[in-house]
Amino acid sequence: GAGVSQTPSNKVTEKGKYVELRCDPISGHTALYWYRQSLGQGPEFLIYFQGTGAADDSGLPNDRFFAVRPEGSVSTLKIQRTERGDSAVYLCASSFDLSGTEAFFGQGTRLTVV
Amino acid sequence: QKEVEQNSGPLSVPEGAIASLNCTYSDRVSQSFFWYRQYSGKSPELIMSIYSNGDKEDGRFTAQLNKASQYVSLLIRDSQPSDSATYLCAVLRKGGGADGLTFGKGTHLIIQP
């Protein structure tokens, strides 16, 4: 596709449930970032990948959060035992590489935990 | 831990005037700098990138970088109501490094007709 695609665009889930959020980056982009954004705040770093490997996962808030990118393209952010505090917009961005090239965002997934 | 600081605003500017948005960063190793615009309820949209000291102009937008002062700014000339948005500053170390691309909290800009 022409841009970064995230699915679903909206997700409502019950507290305690498991959710998966998907990101399909721009074709050929090797770097992929996940962020979380709450109302009135800037994007909060979660994890980024260079290729298939997680280059830095220090932003993941706890062990309920996990992300994979098995083939170096599509990535899935997985959240176990969701809590109401996980409610936010989850943003994915990709860039050609990590040399400083520009990163482009998808439209985000709005997660609501009820 | 890298830090990127921005005044949250709101910054109110009359239509047609120059809007000046500022950003400071703590990591001297940062090498790439970006400005994103975010409309309410939308995802961030890249508007400018700058990599070396000095000014970079693109239409009504000018990005300014001063690595010695660890300062990057965005000027918007002939401000329009459609420029009203939150502007996010982001920095990146070459090769990614810790945290990859780090964002400030953004400055809320209001252009008054």
Q: Is there a contact between B63 and A3 (Cβ–Cβ < 8 Å)?
A: no
With bands split at pLDDT 50, 70 and 90, how would you rate the model's confidence at A2? Answer: confident
Higher local confidence (pLDDT), A57 or B83: B83
Q: Is there a contact between A111 and A21 (Cβ–Cβ < 8 Å)?
A: yes
Q: pLDDT tens digits, residue range B82-98?
A: 999 999 999 987 665 66
In terms of DSSP bridges, do strands B107-112 and B11-14 run parallel, antiparallel, or are they unpaired?
Answer: parallel
Cα B8 vs. chain centroid, distance in angstroms? 12
Query: Which of A56, A102, A106 lies nearest to residue B43, judging by beta carbons?
Result: A106
Query: Which of B43, B44, B100 lies nearest to residue A45, judging by beta carbons?
Result: B100
> Contact A55/B96, CB-based, under 8 Å?
yes
Q: Is there a contact between B47 and B109 (Cβ–Cβ < 8 Å)?
A: no
- DSSP assignment letter at A107: -
With bands split at pLDDT 50, 70 and 90, how would you rate the model's confidence at A4? Answer: very high
With CA atoms as reference, report the closest residue to B85 among B21, B24, B25. Answer: B21
Q: Is there a contact between A92 and A33 (Cβ–Cβ < 8 Å)?
A: yes
Rg (CA), chain B: 13
B103 close to A (CB below 8 A): yes
Q: Is there a contact between A46 and A36 (Cβ–Cβ < 8 Å)?
A: yes
Q: pLDDT tens digits, residue range B24-59?
A: 999 888 889 999 999 999 999 999 999 999 999 999
